[in-house]
A and B are shown apart, each in its own frame.
Chain A
Amino acid sequence: MYTAEFAYKKASSLAEALQLLQQHPEAKLLAGGHSLIPAMKLRLAAPPTLIDIAKVPELREVRLEGNTLVIGAMATYYEVETHPQVRQAAPILPMAIELIGDPMVRAKGTIGGSLAHADPAADLPAVMLALGARMKVVGPSGERVVEAERFFKGMFETDLGEGEILSEIHVPANAGKQAYAKFPHPASRYAVVGVAVVIGPEGVRAAVTGAGSHAMRLTKLEQALAGQPLTREAIEAACQGLLPPNDLNHDLVASRVYRAHLVDVIAKRALLQAAGL
């Protein structure tokens, strides 16, 4: 029930957070704590220092900048889910967030925390891939912006380097018709398979979570649908054998073969919903 001991530092600005990270290289950032604290309670993680960035004002803002929705990394699920501009500009976000955990989880968990954690069964990484979002990262050597594609690298592994903080997520506003469909784990309710699709002017972007070591684009699907009218038949035909089972996760709930099948089914459902069919 108890975590190991740790020292607690609270940052009140982004600059202070960066400085604290410099001083405590072995520290972990604490955002909503809803991935980190459960892991610490089970003593799967025992960071000697936590730097709490949840209340850093610069990291909490959600705003529309031209055609980009800027989401502060420390905005909570709840704040984003209920934000009127988000609902307008990127309806897939509230749609996916509604299916994350439960209201208490959504009250504390943050968008940035989820993306930085890169849990292979987390929902938002797939959504960000489908949206073509970009991650703004600040670190000792300044700022950089990373495409979602390049951000998720492996199981719990991102492009974030030592001393770096994910500060903002830049989401293209009004990217097209969009939907997220999820097959939840019966116990944990994380995604066994979740598929996000955005039907934009350039075609379909689709991404899957839960299937492999990290969220990934469903390129085969995107290609199969390229240049095609999105009819039910076309969608059904395209959603076949999207991922080879051999590379997929497997656990008590879903074998590789079943998971591969679920990817096809959930992708189809997300597409049908996005296309309004």
Chain B
Amino acid sequence: MAEKLFGKAMKRVEDPRFITGTGTYTDDMTLPGMAEAAMVRSPYAHARIKKIDASKALAHPGVLAVITGQEMKEAGINSIPTGWLHPGIKTPPHYPITFDKARHVGDIVAAVVAENRQIAEDAAQMVEVEYEPLPAVSLGSEALKPGAPAVHDDIPDNICFTWSIGDKEAVDKAFASAHKTVKLKLRNNRLVPNAMEPRASLAQYHKASDEYTLWTTSQNPHIHRLLIAAFIMGIPEHKLRVIAPDVGGGFGSKIYQYPEEIIVLYAAKKLGRPVKWTARRSESFVTDSHGRDHETVAEMAVDQNGKITAVRVETIANMGAYLTTFAPAVPTYLYGCLLAGPYTTPHIYCHVTAPFTHTTPVDAYRGAGRPEATYLLERLADVMAHELDMDPVEFRRKNLIPPEAFPYQTPVALQYDSGNYEAALDKALEMVGYQKLRQEQAEWRKQGRYMGIGVATYIEACGLAPSALVGSLGAQAGQWESALVRVMPTGKVEVFTGTHSHGQGHETAFAQVVADELQIPVEDVSIVHGDTGRMPYGWGSYGSRSAPTGLSAIVLATRKIVDKAKRIAAHLLEAAPEDIVHEDGKFMVKGVPDKAKTFFEIALQAHLAHNYPADLEPGLEATHFYDPKNFVYPFGTHIAVVEVDPETGRVKLLRYLSVDDCGPVINPLIAEGQVHGGIAQGLGQALLEEAVYDAEGQILSGNFLEYAIPRADDLVQIEHDHTVTPCPHNPLGIKGIGEAGTIASTAAVANAVMDALRPFGIVHLDMPYTPQKVWQAIHSARKLGQAAD
């Protein structure tokens, strides 16, 4: 029997091209006759566009066209739609190029297409735009104030939507009769995703067939094809092929339908030449959808036993200037529905107001809603534990959902599938040496050193998505996934998936599973993704859906192949299909090992098919559309240990440890890699990252000189282990692991910093914990302390 590959730390098959510099990212592509585009972007957060004079730019040698919003609108290019609607939601138009007003810094006002990028960039500076600057608003709560400047003229109050979940009355009652309550005002800082590959798009128009091809940095090419064909350009879907070649990270930011993709398609047709656009990093900062940006009041109530009785949350979620593809889902279903966390809280109420502001649109960024929910709950848990004079771990333990309670119905719509939260917590505590660490902390404090220990227990709902459930929640589409498994006459197998890998290693992990299922060498399996021209419909990769949803589709398609192979074997071996077993890589008659056919023999005969019985179709391929029955619910415990330098306020990470449970792990190398990267991003939010806007809507941290993402020396080697609690409702029992690290780490690091600052009497600070902020807090606390003495 071939070695089982499920669970094996196999080296990735995609790596040879990347480590030798022979991957193909969108910007690496050049087509014959290709022109290049540069965007003219608004320097103002809010301005009326009075006049655009492109004459100088057009006169510049090498310039092919200057495209305006007016022109595209007149040519029938529509607004970019959003994919998730709430009752009463306002969906103002979002044209690829704006023509009336600029609504955020970076809003596209015109596009220049030229022989090459240099010329396009030079000419973009020659386009003269006359702006009438208008007052702008960048903070959500400010946008809601009476008299705030309106982002969209017909939405004078700036409210995109309001949303709530839970039984308010029951929650209010629980608070009224609580033993203790705590209340925190939290700001979940706005983040810039910053995948290392800047966005890029290359469009080609084939005149003879009236077809388009778009290569683009996307996590989900099919979604682009649907939105562009059906809504934005009104062209037949089969006339547009969208290809996402190698993509250098996404983290959510490459889900959305962006204006530039439409602009290059339009320009390619207009000019009859391929047109490419690639973002500069400073463009990425103002145009890639941002993440988070909540202002929240969060409250928790407990009874005398320290059991949580209720959680109440009021959030303002900044949408930015326009709604992008999933924006309305993020601070609602992916947030409010997660507020039970891993706890048995019986009553939860969450109310969200989502205003427009004159800032870059905000949408899903790694974790999307769930890090916000986890952060809020874990901060509340620590503050409450302190109020109750309890160890934060004991407070959590008291409130964790016990293993026997699954499936567990929360008061906020979700039914958790399986879990053993306390086991993960215990494992993490043991790994970190919790008791000893607390003693060490006490000793350090005596020496004037401030160690902080932060614990976060988390759950997440991922594996987007059970279609009926999300449909009932407001999604305009289900999120099942498809797979096509094609066996070639030589027995080699091509697997087409609708998910997309931009770092997650699907080409390896999926192949491992297919090789196991078909009992063939993994080298014989090739995973194909990211091309609407090659695979059935699919929904792409985000929300940790590729393994639980995409791979489940693949497995079920593969099992159809095995079934058919058995029937072919039965025919070839003159036996009954029920008597054929699939063992040791062969299809044999049960109990008669020499009566057997190899996979290769069957694949070949399936295609030669010259003496087939009438009821057997030639060929060997299968498609499966898999719609998950429920989300999957990974969980775990993360612990961060930090030291705060009270003199400078600088926070240093000393240790980081995670125990995650994503069910059975297909490839530990890949799964752990996902955790490491997620942790780094979450730590970035806690310590370093923030998109800072001034009152005029200018971004003050709009490049890597000002906006810090974690570097090698901001991190430590991560201690990682896992527990295994299978998912009961998908074929492999797997859960997702793509976002877990980010979801837990922000909260763990935040709790660690706050724990370190406890001796100063500091209860809460907003992230990011920059040295200045921490020092300021210590400084004020000391002054207060002195005043009290």
Contact = CB atoms under 8 A, between A and B. Distances in A.
A touches B (Cβ under 8 A) = yes
Interface of A: 1-2, 4, 42-43, 183, 186-188, 252-255, 258, 261-262, 265
B700 interface: yes
> Which of A1, A188, A261 has most B Cβ within 10 Å?
A1
Contacts of B282: 42
Contacts of A254: 772
B705 A187 contact: yes
Interface of A is mostly: loop
Contacts of A2: 117-118, 121-122
A252 B648 contact: no
B122 A252 contact: no
Nearest to A264: B647
12 contacts: A2-B117, A2-B121, A2-B122, A43-B125, A187-B688, A188-B705, A188-B706, A252-B692, A258-B772, A258-B775, A261-B775, A265-B647
B706 A262 contact: no
Interface in B683-712: 688, 692, 700-701, 704-708
A253 B770 contact: yes
B775 A186 contact: no
B177 interface: no
A84 B504 CA distance: 46
A186 B772 contact: no
A250 B475 CA distance: 46
Q: Which 6 residue pairs across A and B have the least CB separation, nearest first?
A: A187-B708, A186-B708, A188-B705, A2-B118, A265-B647, A258-B772
Determine the main DSSP class of B at the interface with A. Answer: loop
Interface in B635-655: 647-648, 650
B688 A186 contact: yes
B280 interface: yes
Interface string B51-65: 000000000000000
Given A258-B775, A261-B775, A183 B118 contact: no
Interface in B620-664: 647-648, 650
B704 A187 contact: yes
A104 to B, nearest CB: 13
A188 B708 CA distance: 8
Nearest to A43: B125
Given A1-B121, A1-B280, A2-B118, A262 B648 contact: yes
B80 to A, nearest CB: 26
Given A186-B708, A265-B647, A1 B701 contact: no
A187 B775 contact: no
Contacts of A265: 647-648
Interface string B135-178: 00000000000000000000000000000000000000000000
Nearest to B198: A1
Contacts of B776: 258
Nearest to B704: A187
Interface in B454-473: none
Nearest to A268: B647
A252 B700 contact: yes
A252 B701 CA distance: 8
A254 B771 CA distance: 9
A255 B708 contact: no
B277 to A, nearest CB: 12
A228 to B, nearest CB: 22
Contacts of A183: 648, 650, 771
A97 B776 CA distance: 30
Given A2-B122, A252-B701, A258-B776, A187 B648 contact: no
Interface in B270-305: 280, 282
Contacts of B688: 186-187
B711 to A, nearest CB: 8
B293 to A, nearest CB: 17
Contacts of A261: 775, 779
A170 B688 CA distance: 39
Contacts of B118: 2
A2 B121 CA distance: 8
Contact of B772 (A187, A188, A253): A253
A242 to B, nearest CB: 14
A258 B770 CA distance: 12
A134 to B, nearest CB: 32
Contacts of A186: 688, 708, 770-771
Contacts of A1: 117, 121, 280
Nearest to B714: A186
A188 B688 CA distance: 12
A186 B688 CA distance: 7
